Amino acid sequence: MSALLKNNKPMMLTIISGGLIMIGGLFMYWDLAPVDALVFLVSFLIGGYYQGKEGITELVKDKTLNVDILMILAAIGASVIGYWLEGALLIFIFSLSGSLEVYTTNKSTDAISSLMQLTPDTALRVKEDGSTEEVSTEQLSIHDTVMVPKGSAIPIDGILLSDYALIDESAISGESIPVNKSKGSEVIGGTLNVTNAITMEVSTDYGDTLFAKIIRLVDEAQGTPSKTATLIHSIETKYVKIVLIFVPVMILFFQYGLNWGFNESFYRGMVLLTVASPCALMASASPATLSAISNGAKKGVLYKGGSFLENFSTVNAIAFDKTGTLTEGRPKVTYERFDSKGDEGKIKAAVVQMERASSHPLARAVVEYYQSVAFEEADLLSSINEVEGNGLEGFSGADHWKIGKKEFVVRDESDRLAAEALEKQKEGKTVLYISLNGALRGFVALQDIPAPGAKEVVDYFKAQGIYTIMITGDNEATGQSIGSMIGVDEVKANCLPDKKAKLILELKEKYGTIVMVGDGINDAPALANASIGIAMGAGTDLAMESADVVLVKNDLGQLPYSHQLSKRLNKIILQNVVFSISVILFLITVNVLQLINLPLGVIGHEGSTILVILNGLRLLKPLKII
């Protein structure tokens, strides 16, 4: 009950209205007229306050008619001919359905509230004398120095000034293991400082932080209705006009065509006005869409509008960027080969010592790999030089070591090791050759490996009959190598940004609805051209701005979840639409046959609205991927 009443004034008034109906019913039982009518009138006014205010405001300001006006007229009409209880009951149940819609909206905004709570309202700004002052997070400016105590949330995006920090980034990445940060590393507002107190420099304005962008995305999505909801609301005014014309015509038909008498004809007209109202139909899409958006937000998937979530289930093809999307985005050693002269440990030691002198991503990958490989490491080299664009060379007495490109290292291309290394290059791997005194002694092959779960995601979409394409700016060999590992249907290599965007348009023309998933600046044009553009949360700002959906936690596994959520959303919307229209037609028919009275019509009509809303609320529950 507390959840229903939280930030829900309409629900409080609805409960009061219901209590007054019970009291009025007792007065009616005790035959205390006109006290019972007065109590019902008060119940009528309290229960119908919010819906009546909304309906009259739209009528006066926007010159539009809505279902609220129909309900007010029906209740007034019932009261005019003495059916006070029926009129109050109609308003009560109508108010109850409206209160449940408010509850649905509140549940959806909980996603924003929970995100906002992750970033603290205040921060400890370091003053020039080294002391700290507590200020509002919004007051922080770029280049301010902030102190973050142990166990506290980082208030804003910035750069680490301390030598070391251990940061819990689970709120962003979903990873439970804290991340080691060194001086100069980026720290994100809303993440948690696990180590001792640290200092950081503010690098981003408060309104441009990652969490601020996330909150804006969720807020915009909840304010943007789905296509179905937009269509339903677009016909509301026309439908209400038809009902307002249809009801008087039917009253005249009942009185003069069927000779029912004025009271019976007017009464049946009020029942018709009630049951013909499209309340349930109007509630078929919006509550369900809001619930689904909230469900996705809890999983770290942000939709910029309900239509993107609704359309996801209709996709015929999905295109993925390679680097940083289907792959981890950084090279890793996947193969090593050395000659058989028995000094492999010495070669590895020389390799590690040389590569430590370089900041190149390939060098870092080699050092990282050998840190996890057990061998006796020793400092062999007295000097190391970097040969720009080619590799590294090291000297130890008379020994001359080299590591790098084939042209820089290899003298004899007929060498067995050189031939084997060339095969690895043909597989799309990057090869670093190693030589000692001009003789090739081995090589290391590196590759950007598939991201965790990438193959499973591709397999899921293929199982759903959706065509999968990988688009990459890399060469054909590298693209085909990764593509075969992941199992995509087609690989498009050597694609620059303009070619990616053009390719997406061609695929859209061929397949209809197409999704593009990417993370980089070069993906932005393609994301914008796709039917649905999906950006990885760890990608660039431009990619996230261009996309329609953002995977905040950088988890490809949320794509199948979103697809299933979209299918479930469309299924529930269809259920609601069919059910609501069927109830309206049924109630109109039995009213013409004089088989129901106004209370039953109210219960049937507004009860169907409540059921439709509750059916939509089911989308708040986590789904099981099938």
- Cis? peptide before 34, omega within 30° of 0: yes
Residue 555, helix vs strand vs coil? coil
Residues sharing a CB contact under 8 Å with residue 571, sequence separation 6 or more, in sequence order = none
Helix, strand, coil share of the chain (percent; to 5): 55, 20, 25
Residues sharing a CB contact under 8 Å with residue 360, sequence separation 6 or more, in sequence order = none
Residue in 319, 134, 294, 154 with CA at minimum distance from that of residue 222:
294
Crossing angle of helices 598-617 and 262-275, in 10° steps, is 0
Long-range CB contacts (within 8 A, 24+) of 260-266: 263/81, 266/77, 266/81
What is the Cα–Cα distance from 399 to 378, expressed in whole angstroms? 15
- With tokens 């209740």, the residue in question is 75
Question: Other C-beta atoms within 10 Å of 7: how many?
Answer: 12
Give how far Cα 271 sits from Cα of 267, 590, 599, Å. 6, 10, 9
Structural tokens at position 403: 């590591």
Crossing angle of helices 35-47 and 67-80, in 10° steps, is 180
What's the gap between Cα 255 and its chain centre? Answer: 56
Residues sharing a CB contact under 8 Å with residue 313, sequence separation 6 or more, in sequence order = 563, 566, 567, 569, 570
- Residue 164 backbone phi and psi in degrees, to 5: -155, 150
What is the Cα–Cα distance from 183 to 161, expressed in whole angstroms? 5
What is the Cα–Cα distance from 417 to 32, expressed in whole angstroms? 105
What is the Cα–Cα distance from 321 to 319, expressed in whole angstroms? 7
Classify residue 130 by burial, with Cβ atoms within 10 Å: 0-12, 13-18, 19+: exposed
Output the CA torsion 114→119→122→123 (10° steps). Answer: 170
- With tokens 């009630």, the residue in question is 274
Structural tokens at position 548: 């329609």
Question: Other C-beta atoms within 10 Å of 499: how many?
Answer: 16
Crossing angle of helices 236-252 and 227-234, in 10° steps, is 40
Active site residues: 321
What is the Cα–Cα distance from 235 to 284, expressed in whole angstroms? 13
Residues sharing a CB contact under 8 Å with residue 582, sequence separation 6 or more, in sequence order = none
Residue 385, helix vs strand vs coil? strand
What is the Cα–Cα distance from 76 to 221, expressed in whole angstroms? 38
Question: Other C-beta atoms within 10 Å of 606: how many?
Answer: 26
Residues sharing a CB contact under 8 Å with residue 498, sequence separation 6 or more, in sequence order = 525
- With tokens 């339903």, the residue in question is 232
- Cis? peptide before 560, omega within 30° of 0: no
What is the Cα–Cα distance from 477 to 427, expressed in whole angstroms? 6
Structural tokens at position 447: 């590759």
